[in-house]
A = this chain, B = another copy of it.
């Protein structure tokens, strides 16, 4: 479904991504991890169409991908993914309104009633039925992201892009969100790309894990080389030692051989 052919991405002199060659099938759930600033969001932006590769081709169904956002590709960002001036219900109904041709983006009459029904249904599904008249700023972070996901799904995208969707959430409530995303992924048969900074999360959720990293370094010119996909792992085929190797690369600790349980003696 999606194919990247030797993609490079530069901003001015800075190479952000290089030699990206991948191919993703319909229905896969890809999680992307990597150090901060290595280009994960940039890759998602190319999938979304708001950035273009500097060289190389990014194909969707063997066609160059559209270079502006459209309803094929839904997105949930870490922040600002819902419309702050609409209630929960309006946010979701707006997704329906935008899907219709029209000038104002407002719905009337039967179309409005239909949208309402559909919206209530999906809000039920994401567990927001009790909060439909609230504004986003009255929601907790978790509820806000549920709303963003519900909204994105109403656009009926084939591909769902998630850029650290739970990065701002309290770890205590993430498990629920994971469950939700997995349920929806199964129900709607989506292709999902999800960036996360938490290897455990990426590992637990995806069917396929990509690790972004720089393989070449020039100490004189740190921006001369970009990151690429150093691991492309089908989940379930990763053994513990590889997991720990990647984890250490992402979250080094001082005593790498006894990373957690052992108490260091300070004095």
A residues at B contact (CB < 8 Å): 29, 35-36, 170-172, 174-175, 178-179, 182, 185-186, 197, 200, 203-204, 207, 235-236, 238, 240, 243, 250-254, 259-261, 263-267
Q: A250 touching B197 by the CB < 8 A rule?
A: no
**What DSSP secondary structure best describes chain A's contact surface?**
loop
Q: How far is the CA of A260 from the CA of B238 in the complex (A)?
A: 12
Known: A36-B172, A207-B267. 13 other contacts (CB 8 A): A36-B170, A174-B251, A175-B253, A178-B253, A179-B254, A182-B266, A185-B266, A186-B267, A203-B260, A204-B260, A204-B264, A235-B263, A236-B263
Chain B residues with CB under 8 Å of A179's CB are 254
How many of these chains are in the complex? 2
Q: Once the chains bind, are A252 and B36 in contact (CB under 8 Å)?
A: no
Query: Complex Cα distance A238/B262, Å?
Result: 10
Residues of chain B lying within 8 A (CB to CB) of residue A266: 29, 182, 185-186, 207
**Could you pull out 12 A-B pairs where Cβ atoms are within 8 angstroms?**
A36-B172, A182-B266, A186-B266, A200-B259, A200-B260, A203-B263, A204-B264, A207-B267, A235-B263, A236-B263, A240-B261, A243-B261
- What is the CA–CA distance of A266 and B266 in the complex, to the nearest angstrom? 44
In the bound complex, what is the Cα–Cα distance between A88 and B260 (angstroms)? Answer: 34
